[in-house]
Structure 1
Amino acid sequence: MKQRYNWKILNCPDEFSQQVLVDDLNIHPSLAKVLVLREIDSYRKARQFFKPSLDDLHDPFLLTGMRDAVKRIIKALTDNEKILIYGDYDVDGTNAAAMLYLFLNEIGGNVQIYIPNRFKEGYGISKSGIDEAIQNGNKLIISVDCGITAIEETEYAKNYGIDLIICDHHEPGEVLPKALAVLDPLKPGCPYPYKYLSGAGVTFKLMQAISSSIGMKDLPFKYLDFVAVAGAADIVPLTDENRILVKFGLEKLNNDPRPGFKALIEKAGLKLGNISSSQIVFGLAPRINAVGRLGDANRAIQLLLSKDYEEALHYAEILDKENRNRREIDEEILNEAIQKVENEINLDEETAIILHKEDWHLGVIGIVASRLVEKFYRPSILLTSVDGILKGSARSIPDFNLYEALKECEDILLQFGGHKAAAGLSIHYDKINDFKKRFNEVAKKNLTPEQLIPTLEIEAIVEL
C-alpha cells in the first residue's frame, strides 16, 4: 500500500523576527524562516542553537523536590547507607542507571543497581523490586526513567522505612507518589523551563545538583556520553537543553569512548569518531534494547559498566547476537500482524488497530506496533498473553494522544502508563472487546479523516 501525504506549506509565524535573523546573521530568508519555525527567533537563541554551551544549561534546582533529594542523598553518602538505583530495561533506563551508579560510586557511595524483568515484573517500580531492597538493607531507592505512577509501591517502600527519590520524565497521573522527592519536569507546577528531557537527562540534573552542593561542579560532564545515547535512543527533541547535552555527549563518545560503547560501536560496524545521533538510534540503541526485550537487561548494564575492552567486547557480542534474534522474531510477528489487519480489521470503520495473539513475544510487540503505524498510519496496539492476562504496547500518530486515550479507558484496564506517542498496558481477557470498542470510539471522536493521512510539512521553498 503506497502512502499518501497531505502537503502543507508552512507560513512564517513571525516575519519581523525572520527579517531580524536575516540582518543579524547575514543568512538567506529561507533559512531564517526555518529557524523561526523552530522558535529560534532571536540572535541569542540562534547563537545557542549553532554554538551550544554547557554554560546555557538550566539550574537543576528549578526542578521541584531537588533540594530534598540532594539533602537525602548527601546524608546517605555521609552515613555510608546502601543506595539502590532502580532503573528500566530500555536504553534510557539502563544508561541512566549505569551513569548514576558510576557517579555515586565515584563520590563514595555504597550503590547497587536493580533492573526489573520485563516479563515477570513489567515496566516501573514493582513490589518485588522493593522486596529486594528490603533484603539488601537499602534505606534509599533512587528510581530513574520510571516511578511517576508508582503510588502503591511508594507507600509499600515507606512502610519498610525506605525513602524513595523518583527521577522520571513520563507523564504524571492525577495523583503523584508521596515519595521523599519527585523530580519530573512534567509534574504540575514544576517551574523547570524545559519539559522534554530524557530519563537520563533528569538523572543528569540530579547529578549536577549533588555536584554543585559538594564543590565538584564539573564532575557530571564526564558522563554526558550516557545522556547522549539515552536521549537519541528515546527520540527526545534535540532542542534547547537536550541539544547541549547530546552535542557534548557525542564529543565524549567519539573522542574518549568508555570500553562498553567502544566495543558496541565496533560490533555494530560503525566508525568511531563519526558517531551521530541517527547512528545511535539505528546502530547502538537496538542492540542495548535487545537484551531487555528478549531476556535480562542486566547484560546491558554489564556492558555499560565494563572497565576493560575485553570484558566489554564479550558483552557487546551478546547484545549483537540478541539483536539478530530480535530481528527474526520482529519480522515474523510483523508479517502475522499485517495479515491480521488485512483479514480482520475494516479500516473504513475502525480508526485504531488493536491486535492480539497468544504467543507474540512481549519484548518485541512495541517495535511491531511502531511498524504498523508506519504502514497504516493508525494508532496501533499489540497484545499478547502473559500469566493469564493480556499485556501490550501501543504506538500512535502525531495528532492522537495515546496517554489521554488510555486514560479514557482506565476503568477497563488493569494498568497503563507512558506518554503521548507510546504506552504500555495490561487488561483482563474478558475485557478485550469492551476495550476495543471504547478505544475505537475515543479514536474516532478525536481524529478526523484528514488526520489519518500523514502530513508532509514544507518549511521553505528553495529555488535551485
Structure 2
Amino acid sequence: MNSALQETTASRATRPWAARPLADAVYEAAVAEGRSHLQATVIAGRLNRLPDGRLADLINPRAADLPRASALPDIALATACLADAIEQGQVIAAVLDHDADGQNSGLVIWRAMTEAFAVPPERLHVVTSHRLKEGYGVSSQLVERILALDPRPTCVLTADQGSTDEPRVAELARHGVKTVVTDHHHLPEEGPPPSAVACVNPARDDATAFGDPTICGAMVAWYVMVALQRELARRGLPHGTPAQLVDLLSFVAVATCGDCVDLGMSHANRWAVQQGLERIERGGQAIWEAFAPFVRNEWTSTSLSFQIVPRLNSVGRLGDAKRGIEAMCSSNLREAYAWVQTLDDANLERKRVQAELTERAMEMAQPQMDQGAPALCLPFYTGGHAGVHGITASRIVDTFGVPTVCLSPVEGDPDWMTGSIRSVKGAHVKHLLDGIAREYPQLNLRYGGHAMAGGVKVPRALVSQFAIAWELAVQDALADRPPPPREHDGKLPVRPSRQAAAELAELAPYGRGFPEPVFVVAGEVSRIRPLGRDNKHLQMDVAFPDGQRERMVWFNAVGEDGQLPIGPGHHRFAYQLTGSTFARGPGYDLKIVACLDGTGESD
C-alpha cells in the first residue's frame, strides 16, 4: 500500500460530497490529443477552461513553457545588488521562513551560492525565523538576531517572506544593511516595502507580464538564482553551470508540494515538481536515499506532500527550522539517516500535539457550527501550540467547510496571540484581513498570506473583537453560501486495474488545483480485518457492482474508542486508485477516503 497516503485521515463523511462538473471543451480537447476516456474525464474535472496552447504542454510542460525570469519586477535590481555583494566579498544573510517552503528556499540559495557561485560559506549566513518565539515574517526579534550575527551582514536576502515587513526592512537599512526581498505572498495595499533594494514577488500588481502569481517562495528564489547566474557570468565571476541550478529543482519540488500552490493551470509549478522528482529518482544525494523507506521508493507529489514535507515542517513547527536545512545538506548516508531519524522523531511529536489540539478544536467548533457559524475563530489561551495551528485549522475546514483561525499566545510575549488561517473558495484570506485591518485599525493586526491560507497576530485583549470582525468579513464574502462540498470523480469508468492506475499516474503531479482522483462505488463488504500495530487501519473485502471482488484499505478508520466505523454489508465509499509498490497482488491499491452512507451525496 502507498505509505505516502497513510497520514490522511479517512472517516465517515461530515461535509456533503458531489460529483465534479466536467468541462466539455476540455474533455474533447484531451481526447483529441490522444488521452484515454479515464484520463480525459479526470482532466476535464479539474480544468474549467482550456489553457493557452495544447493541453499536453500544461500536463507535461517544458522549460520553454515557463514564464521568463526577466519578467519578474525588480529582478534586475535584485541580481545587481547580490552580484555587487558577491564581487565585493560582502557578508550576506539568507533570511528564511520556518516552513518547508522557507527551508527549501534556503537550500536553493545556499547550494547555488556556495557550490555554483563560489561564495565562501563563512560569508553566507542562513537565518530561519522561529515559529513559536517570533511568529511569521521578518519580525523585530529576527532583525535583532540578524544584527547580532558575526560577522554582521551588509546584505540580507529574504526568501518566502518580507513583502509585508517594511518597518523591519527600514530598521535594517538604518543599520546599513541592504535588503533584497524574494517572496510570493500577497503584498499590503501600499505595495512593496520601499526600504528594500528590490522586492521580487510574482504577486505584485505590476507582475502581470510574468503571468503566474502562484509559484512558491522556493521557485521565486530559484528564478533569482538563475538571473544572478547570468549576471555573474556577464561580470566574468564564478557562476557554475545551468545544470547545477536545474538540479536544485528537487528542493523546489518539495517546497511546491509543501506550500499547496496551484498544480492545475500553472506550467511553472507542474514543471518544477516533475523535474524535481526526476532528479530525486536519479539518486546521488544522501538525504533522498535516507528518506526512501518512508515512501517505499515511490517518489510522487503525494509522497512529498505526506511524507517529506511533514517531517521538514515539524522541526520548524516545534523548534529550530534550521535543522531541516542541515538535514537536507547531509554529505553522506550515515549523517542523512541520523538526521532523518531526528526529523521523524519531531514528526511523531508533532502528530501527538496536533491530535490533542485538533480534538480540543473540534469540541470548540461543534457548538458554533450547530448555531450556523459562517466562520470560526478558535483561541487557545492555555495549552495551545502555534506550531500546529495550520494543520489544526485545515482539519476543521475539512470537517465543517468554513474559514477557520486558530490562535494561541506568542511564546515569551503573552500579550499577543499568533495564529494560522485556512479558508475555502470564495473567502480570500489576504483580502479578508486587508478589509478587517482597514475597517478596524484599532485591532492592530499583523498579517500576511494567500487566497486560502495566512497568518495573523492580534493583541490578546482584542481577540474577541477580532473574532466578530472575522465572522462578519467571511459572512460578507460568502454571502451566506453553504460550505462547499467535497468533490469526487463519480464512478470509475473502467474496472480497477494496473493499467487504469498507470493512466492516472501519467497525469501527475497532483495537488491543489489538480487533486488526486477520488471515485465512488456502492459495494458489499464481506470481511473486515484490522491492520497496523495499533489496529487503526482496516482491510476489507468488497464486492463491486460488476461482481469483481476487491481488497480495499481504510487508513485511520478506527477511533480512539476502538469501535469500527462500519460493519459488513452494503456501503458507499469514496476511494482512490493508485499503483502498488508490493510485488505480489494485482498491481494496484484501492484506498478508502470516506464512507458516504447517509450523506446524500450526488453522482
| TM-score, normalised relative to structure 2 | 0.71
CA distance in 2, matches of 1:187, 1:383: 28
Identify the residue that residue 473 of structure 2 maps to in structure 1: 442
CA distance in 2, matches of 1:54, 1:453: 36
CA distance in 2, matches of 1:265, 1:463: 32
Which amino acid in structure 2 is aligned with residue 348 of structure 1?
Answer: Q
Q: Do structure 1's residue 12 and structure 2's residue 28 form an aligned pair? A: no
CA distance in 1, matches of 2:306, 2:295: 11
User: Does the aligned pair in 1 maintain the 2:96–2:159 contact within 8 Å?
Assistant: yes
CA distance in 2, matches of 1:33, 1:283: 28
1:315-394 equivalences in 2 (<5 Å)? 315-343=339-367, 345-357=368-380, 358-386=382-410, 387-388=413-414, 389-394=416-421
Q: Do structure 1's residue 130 and structure 2's residue 140 form an aligned pair? A: no
Identify the residue that residue 264 of structure 1 maps to in structure 2: 291
Taking only aligned residues, the RMSD between alpha carbons, in angstroms, comes to 2.4
Partner deviation per Cα, 1:249-279 (whole Å, 9 max, x = no partner): 001111125222332334xx2223x210100
CA distance in 2, matches of 1:117, 1:2: 36
- Report deviation, 1:230: 0.6
User: Does the aligned pair in 1 maintain the 2:135–2:418 contact within 8 Å?
Assistant: no
Larger Rg: 2
Partner deviation per Cα, 1:264-322 (whole Å, 9 max, x = no partner): 334xx2223x2101001111111111111111111111101221222222221111101
- Report deviation, 1:223: 0.7
Which amino acid in structure 1 is aligned with residue 345 of structure 2?
Answer: K
Counterpart of 2:223 (choices 185, 205, 214) is: 205
User: Does the aligned pair in 1 maintain the 2:59–2:270 contact within 8 Å?
Assistant: no
Identify the residue that residue 246 of structure 2 maps to in structure 1: 221
Identify the residue that residue 237 of structure 1 maps to in structure 2: 262
1:409 match: secondary structure? helix
User: Does the aligned pair in 2 maintain the 1:264–1:284 contact within 8 Å?
Assistant: yes
Unaligned residue ranges in structure 1 (runs of 5+)? none
1:363 match: secondary structure? helix
Counterpart of 1:186 (choices 198, 203, 207) is: 203
Aligned-residue identity in percent: 24
User: Does the aligned pair in 2 maintain the 1:34–1:459 contact within 8 Å?
Assistant: no
CA distance in 2, matches of 1:330, 1:34: 33
User: Does the aligned pair in 1 maintain the 2:132–2:318 contact within 8 Å?
Assistant: no
Higher strand share: 2
Which amino acid in structure 2 is aligned with residue 214 of structure 1?
Answer: L
Identify the residue that residue 193 of structure 2 maps to in structure 1: 177
User: Does the aligned pair in 2 maintain the 1:21–1:41 contact within 8 Å?
Assistant: no
Q: Do structure 1's residue 153 and structure 2's residue 164 form an aligned pair? A: no
CA distance in 2, matches of 1:289, 1:9: 31
- Report deviation, 1:27: 4.4
Cα separation, partners in 2 of 1:19 and 1:425, compared to 1, 3 Å: closer
User: Greater shift after overlay, 85-94 or 446-455?
Assistant: 446-455
Identify the residue that residue 277 of structure 1 maps to in structure 2: 301
User: Greater shift after overlay, 196-205 or 105-114?
Assistant: 105-114
Cα separation, partners in 2 of 1:79 and 1:288, compared to 1, 3 Å: same
Count of residue pairs brought into register by the alignment: 457
Identify the residue that residue 302 of structure 1 maps to in structure 2: 326
- Report deviation, 1:449: 4.4
| TM-score, normalised relative to structure 1 | 0.91
Which amino acid in structure 2 is aligned with residue 155 of structure 1?
Answer: A
Identify the residue that residue 100 of structure 1 maps to in structure 2: 109
1:296 match: secondary structure? coil
Partner deviation per Cα, 1:158-182 (whole Å, 9 max, x = no partner): 1111111111011111122021111
CA distance in 1, matches of 2:53, 2:475: 43
Identify the residue that residue 76 of structure 1 maps to in structure 2: 85
- Report deviation, 1:137: 2.1
Higher helix share: 1
Q: Do structure 1's residue 420 and structure 2's residue 451 form an aligned pair? A: yes
CA distance in 2, matches of 1:339, 1:173: 35
